Amino acid sequence: MKRVARYALLLLVLAITIGPFLWQLSTSLKGAGEDVYAPVFVPSDPTLANYAGVADAVPVWTFALNSLLVAVVNVVTNCVGASMAGYALARLRFRGRRLAALVFASGILVPFEVILISLFLVMRSFDLTNTLTAVVLPGAIGALNVLLMRNAFLALQPEVEEAAVIDGANAWQRFWRIAVPSARGTILVVALFSFMFSWDDFLWPLVVLSDPDKYTLTIGLAYLQGTFFQNQRLVAAGTIIAVAPLIVLFISLQKHFFRGVGEGAIKG
């Protein structure tokens, strides 16, 4: 009896969290002949025409490619850059280490919205506004990721590295052959969250991009909604295109997402 009540509650929460996505999916599959306003979840005659239609209305595949490009570059720069900096902070002894750590810590304290306008001016002084480079750069190596990697390297046993020192390995070899493989769990978390934040980012690309052919998916969708507001089927198809890759990624790697929330939340 108790168990039945628990499952009933679970199903209620499930309907609240997943229902809206399913409604959007259902709308995107309804053909022109079907009433999208009727509260019917299963399309009577499911069609993929709206997915072709959204590509006719806006260059949605260009948007998706731009988003993918930005996200992949962000993953690579964050994994490499944050691992390197985190390793130096955790494992190398040098004058100025505290100062370097302080720079990253203060980076975390500055909310993005606060520097939005002057960041735009920085990009303009580099002549980078309205480029995908400008979209990538501010988040290319996140200060939080550097501190996550530092903590991961601090948690490793130093003995293995000490043995490598005796064998004559230099700092770079120790980093690349010993430290990085041992910290790959955290690197995967950094990769996942870099991808997600970059793929989902809205405010910064909205401010820095102006040409529709440079748009990422998020602002492309806002643009689609602004232009084709009457056609709910097209907007729904666009949203499904934008969210599907992340859902696939999430389902296949959900354990690491949860781990990332735990690590990020405690430190953030």
Partner 1 sequence: MSVGHHRSYTPWLFLLPGLAVVITFSLVPFVNMLVLAFTNATALGGGRFTGFANFQRMLDDPKFWVALRNSSLYLVCIVPPLVVLPLLIALLVQKKLPGITFFRTAFFTPVIASAVVVGLIWTWLLDSQGLVNTVLRALGWVSRPVPFLTDEWLLLFSAMLVTVWKGLGYYMIIYLAALGNVPADLHEAAQVDGAGPIRRFFAVTVPALRPTMVLVAALSAVNGFRVFSEIYLLSGGSGGPGGADTSLVMLIQQTGTGLTGNVGYASALSLVLFVITLGLLLITLRLNRREEAL
Q: Which residues contact 223 (CB under 8 A, 6 or more apart)?
A: 58, 212, 215
Q: What one-character-per-residue DSSP string does 198-215 give?
A: HHH--HHHHHH--SGGG-
Binding of partner 1 by 121 (CB under 8 A): yes
Q: How far is the CB of 213 from partner 1 (least distance, A)?
A: 19
Listed residue (18, 22, 24) closest to 233, CA to CA: 24
Binding of partner 1 by 128 (CB under 8 A): no
Which is closer to partner 1, CB of 6 or CB of 177?
A: 6
Window of 46-54, 56-64, 68-76, 110-118 that interacts with partner 1 by CB under 8 A: 110-118
Asked if 82 and 194 count as a contact pair (C-beta separation under 8 A), the reply is no
Number of residues that bind partner 1 (CB under 8 A): 103
Give the C-alpha distances (Å, rounded to integers) separating 11 from 77, 112, 255: 41, 37, 22
> What are the E-state strand segments in the chain?
none
Binding of partner 1 by 141 (CB under 8 A): yes
Q: How far is the CB of 47 from partner 1 (least distance, A)?
A: 18
Give the C-alpha distances (Å, rounded to integers) separating 16 from 23, 81, 121: 11, 39, 42
Q: How far is the CB of 199 from partner 1 (least distance, A)?
A: 7
Window of 46-54, 55-63, 83-91, 182-190 that interacts with partner 1 by CB under 8 A: 83-91
CA distance 136 to 132: 6
**Applying CB under 8 A, which of residues 1, 4, 13, 42 lies at the interface with partner 1?**
13
Binding of partner 1 by 72 (CB under 8 A): no
Listed residue (237, 191, 247) closest to 57, CA to CA: 237
Binding of partner 1 by 94 (CB under 8 A): yes
Q: How far is the CB of 222 from partner 1 (least distance, A)?
A: 6
Binding of partner 1 by 31 (CB under 8 A): no
Binding of partner 1 by 87 (CB under 8 A): yes
Binding of partner 1 by 16 (CB under 8 A): yes
Q: How far is the CB of 66 from partner 1 (least distance, A)?
A: 14
